[in-house]
Structure 1
Amino acid sequence: MTKASDRDDPLTTGLIHHAYRPPAGFGAVPPAVHKASTVIFATAAALRARDWKSKSGYTYGLHGTPTTFTLEARIAALEGGRHTVLAPSGLAAIALVNLALLKSGDELLLPANVYGPSKELARQELAHWGITHRLYDPMDAAALATMIGPQTRLVWIEAAGSVTMEFPDMAALVAACRARGVTSALDNTWGAGVAFAPFDCGIDISMQALTKYPSGGADVLMGAVTTLDEALHLRLSATHMRLGLGIGANDAEFVLRSLPTLALRYAAQDAAARRLAAWWQQRKEIAQLLHPAFVGSPGHAHWAATCRAAAGLFSVVFDARYTTAQVDAFVDALRLFKIGYSWAGPVSLVVPYDLALLRGPQAALGKGTLVRFSLGLESADDLIADCEQALRSLG
């Protein structure tokens, strides 16, 4: 009997509709990488019956492939949740939560030390849609409780705070939200599912920038939104679908490849950061060390009660006698630390910030220029030596 492939033009149709199918049962350590926009259905009835929301099958590449479903399941397990959706970046994941849960006339509450782009998203884009926002002091749960009003629908929490590293009493913040029926969302990029279990704290939504620790290579942009509640997940998934948020299969592959070493990298960078932070604590050039694991850092007691680890990230506030130009000269003199945003990659990073431009609970902070350090995977001794030589540039 003549096969269809024998009748087809071998240079066109035959190359597209080839009869060969590889045998099933191939097993390997890395998950397979599935790249697709179109998904093929066996019959018209199968097409009509398939439901993208259940993840029991596939409808279109944007709604998931075996590769992205695998990554979602692993992130959900890492976070201690049940359901995860992926977004093209951490900021896209934040935007997804906001757009899924807020409408015109609603109010959003953000911590005063919130990630800057998240604040700008609220100040610029959400405001265009009639969604208002206010900033609350993350170190004062009682004050948050009084701020939550009838229009408040969502409260974001950061642990630790962006740049200034305050660690809040999450249980008290969440309790204030729950008492008033308001959804709480945590930016868990710092904790990464390693430092603490977010849903044990009562959080409704945990967001991570997978760009950071889950990737670990400084080469992927991705975000994740994880929940326990199915109804909340379906609400997020519907908005996710309508916004057309998708990620590339190769980016999913990179994160899947890095996840098995996540705990090892987190521990190594945590240990290196504590060594360098302890060294800085003894230096007369700084007025304050901001690292949740150190006594004296804002919220240390809350960190100690909640966490089993700390990220490889901390900040120092230089003594006010040093000008911004002098601190910038110190930053420029560093050799191993590279100047750049983000963190959790193999290369150590540094960024100077002007405290006067940061909106945070300033009473807990000293006066002066702040420098944030993100520890990579270099030798801690070499990083200390790098800081020591750069300090000579202060004069």
Structure 2
Amino acid sequence: MSHPLDLAQLAQQIKRWGLELGFQQVGICDTDLTPEEPRLQAWLDKQYHGEMAWMARHGMMRARPQELLPGTLRVISVRMNYLPANAAFARVLKDPQLGYVSRYALGRDYHKVLRNRLKKLGEMIQQQCEKVSFRPFVDSAPLLERPLAAKAGLGWTGKHSLILNRQAGSWFFLGELLINLPLPVDKPVEENCGRCIACMTICPTGAIVEPYTVDARRCISYLTIELEGAIPVELRPLIGNRIYGCDDCQLICPWNRYGQLSDEADFSPRARLHAPALIELFRWDEATFLRVTEGSAIRRIGHLRWLRNIAVALGNAPWDQGNLLALETRLGENPLLDEHINWAIEQQIARRSEVRIEVQRSQKQRLVRAIEKGLTRDA
């Protein structure tokens, strides 16, 4: 005779297993995201999703986990820290000749890391209850993972739309395990952003159009990762040297003073992506790009968009003959790339003119001072 399953005890065991597998926190919630549906629809109606057509195509499925796995009763939500100890934010962002890669993408593709751990967690649960069905997700299906994480008590939704945690800030990945067990659920935590709007103020392109709402069409992460075509001309100067993603809204957030560093070897920065010279990156052929980004989230944008992003960053860099020559060497390879290269060349030439004018002004000022000094001596 089998013993009845103690769901409360199993829930606690699941959380212990999660910690053993490398997650920093595990929470459990039900599947009811009904309050999110009108907000999602309003966001889609305003076209804030840009060219990410799959968001509109899946409609309200994103708010209905049970449609992804029939019979789902609970969502086990997890978070895993990813910030490396040697993130070198300031060093790269303050040097316009270097390329800035969002810190989450410096190591191995997080999708694979988290999904494998979630799958193991599901198998551990299945050993306790054979009839359990589960399905892991890591930003890989139409699922509102942030509202689920908030509902499961992992944190609250910040005004930049990311999940914030009192003890860990926002430097973590999220993942979900859909399961057909009626486990006891956790309570959400209170929001603690208060009147702070630092993330909205710092956003280089003004993408956080109102608290909790991001217009992806203006977001640098969208422009450098999701957008397949040309980056809007008016936004290019605002991108600076960010060639893959953007961390500004996280960097300014007061709660990230408590951000926890990751000890996951998989998230350690790859040397050639950590603080790379833009000119060096722009010289990569496709084979080099594929080799360096093997197993990385960066690979999915492809070599062409990688070069497009770097061309914009070179256009934003200070005048340098090497920058100009590097840009000219890739003209004629692709029409999309040519458009961004020509724009970047125009920026470099304009800065060269500014430098020459400044040099001439400085020389003139030195000459005037010398003449004045000579007149004073004669008097």
TM-score tier, shorter chain, comes to under 0.3
Taking structure 1 as the reference length, what is the TM-score of the superposition?
Answer: 0.26
**Greater helix fraction, Structure 1 or Structure 2:** 2
Taking structure 2 as the reference length, what is the TM-score of the superposition?
Answer: 0.27
**Greater strand fraction, Structure 1 or Structure 2:** 1
Q: Which has the higher contact order (CA 8 A, sep 6+)?
A: 2
